[in-house]
A = this chain, B = another copy of it.
Amino acid sequence: MPLMNYSDIVSNLPLFSGISEEEKKRLLKNGKLRHIASGDYLFHNGDVIHHFYIICTGSVQLLRETPDGKKITTDISTRGRTIGKAEILNTSTHHNVSAFALEDVTLLEFPAKWLKDAASNPVIALNILTSLSQYSHMVEVESEQKTTMSVSQRVGCFLQRICVMHGLDKNSFVLPYSKSLIASRLGMEPETFSRALTKLKEHGISIDDKKIVLRDMQAIEDFICEHCSMLGNCSTHQLLTAENE
């Protein structure tokens, strides 16, 4: 993944794809650049919603906490992705997740109402609709996988997606997050995740610490898609939709 400077990032935001440079500039005038240190929260579940964010660098964990203190990772957002879109359009007044900086993060911050204004531009509205419906579909599929697939299958599926979404080399890449975080993101315990990785070694995936090799794609497909309801096969499908982002 090539490093990008600020202007590269801004001019490649999916949110602004297809709109003129002037319009982009006009919209960006309302944005402020902000930095969040690794380990800090951008906002907490329950806070009043003031802003809409676009991530320029770093990754942000979206999470909720249960009354007994267990952290549920809803999503991990990275460069180019937005934060708060759904909550604002929802007409929620309060955040329903917390946002936590996994690394040092820089982001563009806009007043919440800016988003609805921006959505009155039909091109931007379509951009938002596209990304929202893609996200929605992803959540739907993952939810379905929780009931149809084994933990190992879901982990295998997720590894493939990480590989494609982050533009990594399937012949050798390093997990971009800690194993505990990935486990949490997939809704399972770290122990379970660890055991799942072990099992995947018998199905075309090599694992050495954080280094992954998707060695035998056919074997992986065969293992993962045993119960998959997406026609063709689920991981390829998800890879494709991921590439459309």
- A contact residues vs B (CB 8 Å cutoff): 45-46, 64-68, 70, 72, 74, 85-87, 89-91, 94, 96, 116, 119-120, 122, 125-126, 128-130, 132-137, 139-140, 142-144, 146-148, 187-188, 225-231, 241, 244
Contacts and interface: CB of A to CB of B under 8 A. Distances in A.
Contacts of A225: 67
Contact of A129 (B128, B135, B226): B128
B227 A67 contact: yes
B90 A137 contact: yes
Contact of A66 (B119, B122, B228): B228
Contacts of A226: 67
Contacts of A120: 122, 125
Nearest to A98: B229
B74 A140 contact: yes
A140 B63 CA distance: 11
B122 A126 contact: no
A90 B141 CA distance: 14
B188 A229 contact: no
Contacts of A241: 90
Given A89-B129, A90-B134, A125-B126, 16 more contacts: A45-B229, A64-B230, A67-B227, A67-B229, A70-B227, A72-B144, A72-B229, A87-B133, A90-B130, A90-B133, A90-B137, A96-B231, A119-B126, A122-B125, A144-B187, A146-B147
